[in-house]
Amino acid sequence: MNTADYIKGYLEETVEIAKTLPADEIEKAVDILRRVKKDEGRLFILGVGGSAANASHAVNDFRKIGGIETYAPTDNVSELTARTNDEGWDTTFTEWLKISHIGSKDAVMVLSVGGGNENASPNIVSALKLAKDKGAGVISVVSRDGGYSKKVSDACVLIPVICDERITPHAEGFQGIVWHLLVNAL
């Protein structure tokens, strides 16, 4: 495939994804975030890999534009690596949320390509179990089948798979589109 055809195909896939995003789930996410803001709760954004970078950017937007106290545990690399070294990867987010005293006025937002399972992003799975146990709202922006995040989310924006070869770039790209939409809908 030549470059021009690749570009055209990628952009066509992007348009198709945008047309099929679940507006009802996005609306549920806005409602959760409005409640968190009204109740003066906090938003914790979880992501690993490229989604961790997106989480960091989203923290800025939810704080500065959305007016919600927001954090991403991956922004503190010293704590993240100390917890990984001392306690293991699976509990990095859970232990961080415990120290933050996550509660029912708060929400967790997962940005993830696969949504977490026993083999990939188990730290997300553990964190979501804790969040649900503490009564926090759960929002996810995920792709593939949504993984564990989709199963337990109060609002799940599932980015459809249009092309298997480009799941990750589309999922991570649409994380940005969705969180910007959410921030500006508040």
Q: Is the pTM of this model over 0.95?
A: yes
pLDDT in tens, 117-173: 988 999 999 999 999 999 999 999 999 999 999 999 999 999 999 999 999 999 999
Those residues with Cβ within 8 angstroms of residue 32's Cβ, 6 or more apart along the chain or in another chain: 107, 137, 139, 154, 155
Of 118, 130, 113, nearest to 169 by C-alpha is: 113
| CATH number of residue 118's parent domain | 3.40.50.10490
Report how many domains make up the chain. Answer: 1
Residues 64-111 have pLDDT tens digits of 999 999 999 999 999 999 999 999 999 999 999 999 999 999 999 999
Residue 6: what pLDDT? 96
Q: 83 is in which domain, residue-wise? A: 3-185
Q: Torsions phi, psi of 48, nearest 5?
A: -125, 155
